[in-house]
Amino acid sequence: MEIKDSIIDLPVQDPENEEFSSVDLTWTKFGSTDQLVDEVALIPYERVDAFINGECNNIECPTRFHIERGRKREPGSLKECKDDEYLLYRLYWCSFGPENYGEGGSILPSRRYRLNTRNRAARPQSMRGCTCHFIVKRLYARPSLALLIYNDRRHVNKSGFVCHGPLDRDAIGPGAKKIPYIGNEIQQQTMSLLYLGIPEENVLQTHIEGIQRYCGSNAKVNSLASQYVQKLEMIIKRSTHELDLDDQASIRMWVERNRKSVFFYQDSSETDPFILGIQTEWQLQQMIRFGHQSLLAAHSSFGISKLKYPLYTLLAFDSRQHPLPVAWIITRTSAKRDVSKWMKALSDRVRAVESSWMVSGFIIDDAAVEVDPIRDVFRCPVLFCLWRIRRSWLRNVVKKCSNIEVQREIFKRLGKIMYSIWDGSDSVVSLEEFIQDFVDQTAFMQYFKESWVPKIDMWLATMKNLPLASQEASGAIEAYHVKLKTKLYDDLHLGSIQRVDWLVHKLTTEIHSSYWLDRYADESGSFQTVKEEYISSTSWHRALQIPDDDVILDDKDHLFAKVVSQEDGDHRHLVWNPGSEFALCSCSWSMQGNLCKHIIKVNMVCQKKHSDYHPSMSFQSFREILLKFWRKVVDDSIALDQSVAWTKQMHDTIQRLVELSNSNNIGSVVRSLPVKWVSKKGRTFAGKPAAYTLALPPSKESASQRKHRKRKRLSRLRGGSA
């Protein structure tokens, strides 16, 4: 066959079937250089999904394809281009590949000390080393067309053998070739259900439903599926975190076996501290999906006194704005150099898949956190969240002061010190007065003077300098904290709490499974109870369920509010100091130090009555930013025009975001949008809008950098894609 060096006269093929695959297309040999010749075909860009679906439903090798790599170019960014240059580039790989860690792993464990030899069987059967992959290029010069490039159409491994599907003659284990193939998703589902203790018959039923997609239904399949589920359950029961008696060796082995879930690893040595960065393939996908043009939050220094190394979690906010852990970092170091290293590795990993990925803001929860690495790596503004300081103070107030009235008053006054940032009063004076007034509360004062007074300036300065995150964000991060604590410390293996391998095991099995299943239940509509529990897992969401009429404000002095109990209509919860983050509620959830739904609901109601109550801290900090912005003097020049354009764009973006979050019918908001929505079909559904850029400039930036960035943004604005 002739080898073409241009695609300009290739015919556009558009098969009639709803789905089609490579066999329905005529392929042309194409080579732009001497070295490589690929087979290519040209189809309408809007039919790409139909092609991918067709390739997935291959009878001989049913599979799914995932995006292994992606790149994007802005329209108008190239002056000259070849006819096969891409606007959008995606490398799709068969999900039974590309890696194969199951065989020939280079490092074998120190077997003498190995406690559990059955562990190896728990390796994912889905990694089969399949080499089948193809490329989809949306053409730069002709965006309505997609160029398909196939390197290898066969589902074979590197040795050239068929490696999955009914034709695979070399499946693992006796009789295994008859076992229906279990893709990643079904395996994850079955494992999650087992980890979460769902009864075996229910697990089996959903498992069978899952695999029938690949192989139809018959008695043999069902009995094999039942064996599989039993085996998996046994493996899970017997699996142990201890791969070696020595914790450090055990972790090394875990890292070796789970390379795909490790984005950064540095063993402790004389010069370097221990750092382990964990992110599963699924977490990576979620970080891309929910983090892009949205927020990330850090939940830092968990277990600082109990665990061998503290845990640092990066959270994204999912489609319900619930917290979703997208990466875990286990380390004791918070030095700039070390933080930069793992953050860079993480961001590189994400951008290798989606080069245009960017976050709009990064929320930190500890004033001692180094913000420079965040600004350098993620290139976004840093926000501050109050949840940690609020929680520590409240827990200690409740624990160390016995009188409820004293508790309320102390907590209110602590809030006042915080609010002094905006009301012009001197925080040092407020602090001194506070210590004077409650000098008889010796237990609390001792704690406060030891733990907070020395660093209160730093905390107040951080809160003053950084924009503050909302109560919804506080509630979400706290919800993650509470779940983590329950799952980690409520364990029979508590003797292992000082072992890192135990923490890794716990995170990557039970906790990962639980978040996976939450998302799956919500998106697929299955597992109704899991779904309901997941939806009501944040205090913000629970607050939304309380009717306005159930909130009774004390309109005279604004000292307290009452909320009708949702469980017992005769009971009222008393919320002291309404309208403030430092409100204290009489319910048991609040008395344990949590931000309860009653406080959030009361504050929602108070916010509507602006004139009577002072606005929330996050709102005050937002207003402060806008005012500073507004007061900036600009001359009547083109620089002013640029600022106007930029401000307008920001205003529109914020307005749309607000509209979107207040709307019950997202569709109507979407339809009125002027910008074209990027279709993300294929990788995600029910995803977040991609068309927003909300990026306030980081505060510590030189004017020239700012100007450069502004120019870039404006050029993007002119290019028509925000």
Contact footprint for Zn ion (CB under 5 A):
63, 94, 96, 130, 132, 155, 573, 585, 587, 590, 596, 598
Q: Greatest CA span in the chain, whole angstroms?
A: 93
Which residues are bridge partners to 71 per DSSP?
Answer: 89
Q: How far is it, in rounded angstroms, from Cα 86 to Cα 114? A: 51
Q: How far is the CB of 434 from Zn ion (least distance, A)?
A: 24
* Angle value at C-alpha 28, between 25 and 29, nearest 5 degrees: 145
Q: Which helix (H) or strand (E) holds 274?
A: none
Q: How far is the CB of 172 from Zn ion (least distance, A)?
A: 16
Q: How far is the CB of 550 from Zn ion (least distance, A)?
A: 12
Cβ proximity to Zn ion: between 165 and 689 the closer is: 165
Which residues are bridge partners to 136 per DSSP?
Answer: 90, 148
Cβ proximity to Zn ion: between 324 and 563 the closer is: 563
Q: How far is it, in rounded angstroms, from Cα 292 to Cα 277? A: 20
Cβ proximity to Zn ion: between 446 and 536 the closer is: 536
Q: How far is it, in rounded angstroms, from Cα 533 to Cα 535? A: 6
Q: Which two tokens stand for residue 526?
A: 């299955």
Cβ proximity to Zn ion: between 130 and 364 the closer is: 130
Say which residues have a Cβ less than 8 Å from residue 64's Cβ, sequence separation at least 6. 56, 94, 95, 183, 184, 185
Q: How far is it, in rounded angstroms, from Cα 127 to Cα 182? A: 10
Cβ proximity to Zn ion: between 171 and 696 the closer is: 171
Q: How far is the CB of 176 from Zn ion (least distance, A)?
A: 17
Cβ proximity to Zn ion: between 52 and 503 the closer is: 52
Judge contact between 577 and 412, C-beta under 8 A: yes
Q: How far is it, in rounded angstroms, from Cα 177 to Cα 175? A: 6
Q: How far is the CB of 144 from Zn ion (least distance, A)?
A: 30
Judge contact between 475 and 539, C-beta under 8 A: yes
Q: Which two tokens stand for residue 191?
A: 């494992």
Question: What are the CA-CA distances from residue 191 to residues 279, 510, 517 (Å)?
Answer: 18, 9, 10
Length of the chain: 722
Q: In this structure, what are the phi and psi dihedrals at residue 203, rounded to the nearest 5 degrees?
A: -60, -45
Cβ proximity to Zn ion: between 229 and 587 the closer is: 587
Q: How far is it, in rounded angstroms, from Cα 380 to Cα 673? A: 25
Q: How far is the CB of 242 from Zn ion (least distance, A)?
A: 34
Q: How far is the CB of 315 from Zn ion (least distance, A)?
A: 24
Judge contact between 57 and 165, C-beta under 8 A: no
Q: How far is the CB of 471 from Zn ion (least distance, A)?
A: 14
For every residue of 640-662, which 3-state class applies, written as one string? HHHHHHHHHHHHHHHHHHHHHHH
- Which of 285, 249, 277, 274 is CA-nearest to residue 261? 277
Cβ proximity to Zn ion: between 188 and 496 the closer is: 188
Cβ proximity to Zn ion: between 133 and 341 the closer is: 133
Q: How far is the CB of 28 from Zn ion (least distance, A)?
A: 23
Cβ proximity to Zn ion: between 244 and 581 the closer is: 581
Q: In this structure, what are the phi and psi dihedrals at residue 584, rounded to the nearest 5 degrees?
A: -130, 130
Q: How far is it, in rounded angstroms, from Cα 99 to Cα 150? A: 19
Cβ proximity to Zn ion: between 132 and 488 the closer is: 132
Q: How far is the CB of 133 from Zn ion (least distance, A)?
A: 9
What is the DSSP secondary-structure string of 447-466? HHHHHTGGGHHHHHHHHHHS
Q: How far is the CB of 220 from Zn ion (least distance, A)?
A: 24
Q: Which two tokens stand for residue 268?
A: 């402790």
